């Protein structure tokens, strides 16, 4: 067998360190990172068709209505719900600020029913075995609901949080209030919603 003239060439050090190629970042080709209110309604309807349709639909509703991260949703416990006052105490992760949100009538009714149907777990959302839900499990719920709803965009849980921010900004809520509602420490994380609000320029051509 003829010997090969090829040989391995070690990388040349630069200033005593080996120069390596930077990691290649995958380009995010999604046109938007949030769901519209109409898409959320379809997603909730799609979730109802599943085996645990009621629980799954309530998970999506609560995540959207309160701008919850998936990790915050699955960590919700019954002691955070005050049925008498109609409020939900929201504990934020990622160094976010906690707040108390009002619960609307549809949420109150849904949570009361869910509490009656759930075993004595301290967690609001549990699996059929009674274990706390996981972030991965909720991701599967959202994906299945998106397929059942026939959405043109592939949904994931964080699109519900973004959808909440854009929906509230479109209703004209000020940036500071929206910041507190979403639990942002830095207001720059909130301005992305108000900057793209369709109501921001609504009076520009009116006399």
Question: Distance between CA atoms of 146 and 156, rounded to whole angstroms?
Answer: 9
Task: State the burial class of residue 155 (Cβ atoms within 10 Å of its Cβ: 0-12, 13-18, 19+).
Answer: buried
Task: Give the count of domains, the chain.
Answer: 1
Distances (CA, A) of 21 to 3, 30, 33: 31, 26, 30
In a domain, 202, yes or no: no
User: At 69, which CATH number?
Assistant: 1.10.443.10
Which residues constitute the domain of residue 55? 37-195
In a domain, 2, yes or no: no
In a domain, 179, yes or no: yes
Point out the residues that are catalytic.
69, 94, 158, 161, 184, 193
In a domain, 43, yes or no: yes
Q: Which of 178, 189, 187, 199 is nearest to 67 (CA)?
A: 178
In order along its 207 residues, the chain shows pLDDT tens digits of 555 566 665 656 656 565 555 555 544 445 678 999 999 999 999 999 988 999 999 999 999 999 999 999 999 999 999 999 999 999 999 889 999 999 999 999 999 999 998 878 999 999 988 899 999 999 999 999 999 999 999 999 999 999 999 999 999 899 999 999 999 999 999 998 888 777 777 777 776
In a domain, 131, yes or no: yes
Q: Which two tokens stand for residue 30?
A: 């999604």
């Amino acid at each position: 067998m003829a010997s090969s003239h090829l040989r391995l060439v070690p990388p040349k050090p630069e200033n005593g360190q080996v120069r390596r190629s930077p990691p290649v970042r995958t380009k995010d080709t999604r046109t938007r990172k949030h769901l519209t209110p109409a898409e959320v309604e379809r997603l909730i309807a799609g979730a109802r068709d599943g085996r645990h349709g009621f629980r799954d639909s309530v998970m999506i509703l609560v995540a959207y209505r309160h701008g919850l991260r998936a990790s915050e949703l699955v960590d919700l416990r019954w002691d955070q719900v005050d049925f008498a006052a109609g409020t939900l105490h929201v504990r934020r992760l990622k160094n976010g600020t906690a707040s108390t949100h009002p619960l609307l009538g549809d949420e109150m009714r849904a949570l009361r029913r869910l509490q009656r149907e759930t075993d004595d777990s301290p967690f609001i959302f549990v699996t059929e075995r009674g274990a706390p839900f996981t972030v991965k499990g909720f991701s599967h719920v959202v994906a299945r609901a998106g397929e059942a709803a026939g959405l043109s965009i592939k949904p994931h849980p964080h699109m519900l949080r973004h959808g909440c921010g854009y929906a509230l900004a479109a209703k004209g809520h000020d940036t500071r209030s929206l910041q507190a509602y979403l639990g942002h420490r830095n207001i720059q994380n909130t301005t992305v919603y108000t900057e793209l609000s369709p109501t921001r320029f609504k009076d520009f051509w009116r006399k």
